[in-house]
Structure 1
Amino acid sequence: MATIGTFTRTGDSFEGTVSTLILNAEVQFRPTEKSSEKAPDYRVFAGRAEIGAAWKKTSNEGRNYLSVKLDDPSLPAPIQANLFSVDGGDFELIWSRPTPKRRPD
């Protein structure tokens, strides 16, 4: 797992920075009006460019978080991450490498 972003809550939104080896952007999570149950709860923007979406989730331990998908033409593949609250009211965007799917024998 790696922390690739730090955020603060401002009203209903989250603002912060996402930093990886190829991405360094000021980012904002803006709430959406859901048009269906599967629609995202937030759209993710870097400036005026929409770079992702996020869905509200609850962990097995009852902890609320956002499941985030970031995508951009400069990325080789979408980034899947989770936005969690940490001590002091700040939030961290945590990425971990997906587990490869096993091939059937």
Structure 2
Amino acid sequence: MNIGEFKVVNGRMRGWIATRTIDLPQLGLRSVESPNERAPLYEILALNVGNRWVQVGALWEAVARNSTGEAFLQGSIDDPSLPEPLPIALFGDEEEGFRVAWRRQPPRDVFAPVSRGSSRRDYEGGEGGGFGDSTAGSEGGFSGAGNAAELDDAIPF
């Protein structure tokens, strides 16, 4: 679903995003110059109530996984005033402008199997791994090494 657009206005990339509950009428894209290949291509700026430009997001280049292999920009807008980040994608180019699209993330299936892999830690020096043997007996009393009389059952809080 398209929720906004960006176009070059007076040499700067300016735009807006609007939904039923979000209205960001003054947005800007600022190019990011970085030698880091994982840096975003653009920062998303918004004009706040004090008439100052503040960063509210970033955009990275992505390539469609379909047969077209179309390049687009993807990222999100996030601000403490929003209930959650707004994932967005921009399609188009700097000359013609960008269309802003939004797609709801599919809900997570809480009953789906969880794959934890084989990431069990191998602890050094302990028999059987982990934290070692228990100091509790079958009845729940202390059965470990040392003198049980030395234990203080009263724990001050």
Range of TM-score over shorter length: 0.7 to 0.9
Aligned in 2, Cα 1:100/1:62: closer, same or farther, shift over 3 Å?
same
Q: List structure 1 runs of 4+ shifted beyond 6 angstroms.
A: none
For 1:40 and 1:66, the matched residues in 2 are separated by: 9
1:11 to partner: Cα distance: 8.8
Aligned in 2, Cα 1:73/1:54: closer, same or farther, shift over 3 Å?
same
Does 1:85 pair with 2:99? no
Give CA deviations for 1:70-99 in whole Å, capped at 9, x if unaligned: 00111111011100018x923211001001
RMSD: 2.4
Aligned in 2, Cα 1:81/1:31: closer, same or farther, shift over 3 Å?
same
For 2:59 and 2:11, the matched residues in 1 are separated by: 13
Give CA deviations for 1:33-58 in whole Å, capped at 9, x if unaligned: 12522221110001211110000122
Aligned to 1:32: 32
Aligned in 2, Cα 1:94/1:100: closer, same or farther, shift over 3 Å?
same
Aligned to 2:45: 45
Give CA deviations for 1:19-39 in whole Å, capped at 9, x if unaligned: 123322211111101252222
Q: Summarize the alignment of residues 55-66 of structure 1 with structure 2, pairs less than 5 Å apart.
A: 55-60=60-65, 61-66=68-73
State the aligned residue count: 103
Scaled by the length of structure 1, the TM-score of the pair is 0.82
Aligned in 2, Cα 1:10/1:99: closer, same or farther, shift over 3 Å?
same
Q: Identity over the aligned pairs, expressed in percent?
A: 30
Aligned to 2:81: 74
Does 1:95 pair with 2:102? yes
Aligned in 2, Cα 1:73/1:40: closer, same or farther, shift over 3 Å?
same
Name the amino acid aligned to 1:104: P
- Where structure 2 has 5 or more consecutive residues not aligned to the other structure, the ranges are 48-52, 115-157
- Where structure 1 has 5 or more consecutive residues not aligned to the other structure, the ranges are none
Aligned in 2, Cα 1:70/1:101: closer, same or farther, shift over 3 Å?
same
Structure number with greater CO (CA < 8 Å, separation at least 6) is 1
Over alpha carbons, which structure has the higher Rg? 2
Scaled by the length of structure 2, the TM-score of the pair is 0.57
Counting strand residues as a fraction of each chain, which structure ranks higher?
A: 1
